[in-house]
Amino acid sequence: MRIAIASDHAAFALKAVLAGWLRGQGHDVLDLGPDSDARVDYPDFGFALARAVADGRAERGVALCGSGIGISIAVNRHPALRCALVDNPYAATLARQHNNANAIALGARLVGEDMATACLAAFLSSDFEGGRHAARIDKLGQPPFPTSVKDPA
């Protein structure tokens, strides 16, 4: 599988670890940077990762920053991306099974290398279940805040 990976400066070291692990598992890695731990802006790298997955240069994406929050927001700005911020393997599994996530985000300051690797392994080994989840995922592809949807209250 071809996996795109990108980070900001705070997650540069974790990106190197995960990219190496992915290559060791036989995956093709599209490293979108950065090339050092010099200060960068996470939206630039989140947008690059989203484009790579959306245009088919990668099948899945791994987005990393200090907390994982900022870069996950950046990735999710692209309508074709469903990036789940995870911090444990079960959440990574559910992101695929129930939400058909095509990218995950991890916070380098919040999870260690072993946990990040376990999350990535779970994410890559899980498949979308479809079924009752498919209609919900289809709604995510609609324009933001569709006016045809009534408030549940």
Cβ proximity of 17 and 117 under 8 Å? yes
Q: Which of 72, 51, 81, 64 is nearest to 141 (CA)?
A: 81
119 a catalytic residue: no
- Known catalytic membership, residue 65: yes
Instruction: Give me the numbers of helices (H) and strands (E) for the chain, helices first please.
Output: 6, 5
Q: What is the largest CA-CA distance in the chain?
A: 50
**Is residue 120 a contact partner of residue 21, using CB atoms and an 8 Å limit?**
yes
- Tell me the C-alpha distance between 139 and 134, whole Å: 9
Q: Check: CB of residue 12 under 8 Å from CB of residue 66.
A: no
Instruction: Catalytic residue, from 9, 27, 65, 83: name it.
Output: 65
Which residues carry out catalysis? 65, 98
